Amino acid sequence: MHQDMILRVQQIRRALEAAAVPRWGRAPQIIAVSKTVDAQRVNAVQEAGIFRLGENRAQEILEKLPHLNASFQIDFIGRLQNNKVKYIIDKVGMIQSLDRMSLAQEIDRRAQQRALRMPVLVQVNIGDEPQKGGVPVSELFAFVRQAAMLPGLEIRGLMAVMPDIKEEARLRPCFVRMRALFDALKEENVAGVRMEELSMGMSGDYLLAAQEGATHVRIGSAIFGARAYGAPAGRIDDTLKGDIYS
């Protein structure tokens, strides 16, 4: 029944391996973006060797987590409000969408309360789009140096959501620029920072990402099919309600 999904993962993995360039090391790993997909279908992709999931809403994570195989790691990949950090801090393995200092401070505070160090990626606004999240390129190095001083989080790399550009000739330079920023930050050797992950590329452009040096691609619809939006079924603890639905 879920064989189609498993086949798609295998096809994508083969295509990534064929597109990857030796200079970047191994082909990018797949993070399956499981937002809006019910837990049963999500669980099936583990058979295809996927162990990381991307989710973008705190509420959905809380509802889905009890039904997911325990060996998945959830990566938070969406806009994260400061007041939601406390709900997800001990449920996700990484926050990929760190894009401002107030969020870094809140992650730091909540992680320290639980005596953990949260792995994060710094999201970069590579297309310089005002409507999109991400640290502006011009502020990236200063941001990394400052956030690296917070003991409750550990910077593991960079993440980008590419601008919505169809022409490859205009989109490719965004990937190239992200890889250059990633390498430059690695060179900097900022204390406490491990520049290991470069998360870029989605269903429409993962081959470009592989060619230009992504270490991780975040793929949703190409694995699970088109997303059906609407509230996922399930109830939530009343104590959370006011805040989490806001």
Ligand X SMILES: *Cc1c(COP(=O)(O)O)cnc(C)c1O
Question: Which residues of the shown chain bind ligand X in the complex (CB under 6 A)?
Answer: 33, 35, 54, 56, 77-78, 161, 202-204, 218-222
Nearer to ligand X, 4 or 188 (CB): 4
Nearer to ligand X, 56 or 125 (CB): 56
* Tokens coding 232: 């996922």
For residue 126, the minimal CB distance to ligand X (Å) is: 13
For residue 199, the minimal CB distance to ligand X (Å) is: 8
For residue 224, the minimal CB distance to ligand X (Å) is: 8
For residue 222, the minimal CB distance to ligand X (Å) is: 6
Strands 73-76 and 135-136, bridge-based pairing: unpaired
Q: How far is CA 45 from CA 32, 34, 60, 81, 204, in A?
A: 8, 10, 18, 29, 20
For residue 123, the minimal CB distance to ligand X (Å) is: 9
SS3 182: helix
| The one-letter amino acid at 68 | L
SS3 103: helix
Residue whose CB is nearest to ligand X in the complex, by number: 220
Q: 178 and 205 in contact (C-beta within 8 Å)?
A: no
Cα angle: 70, vertex 26, 207; to 5 degrees: 90
Nearer to ligand X, 190 or 219 (CB): 219
User: CB burial class (10 A; 0-12, 13-18, 19+) of residue 85?
Assistant: buried
Its sign, for the CA torsion 203, 137, 104, 133, is negative
d(CA 179, CA 69): 33
For residue 172, the minimal CB distance to ligand X (Å) is: 18
Strand partners, 32: 53, 219
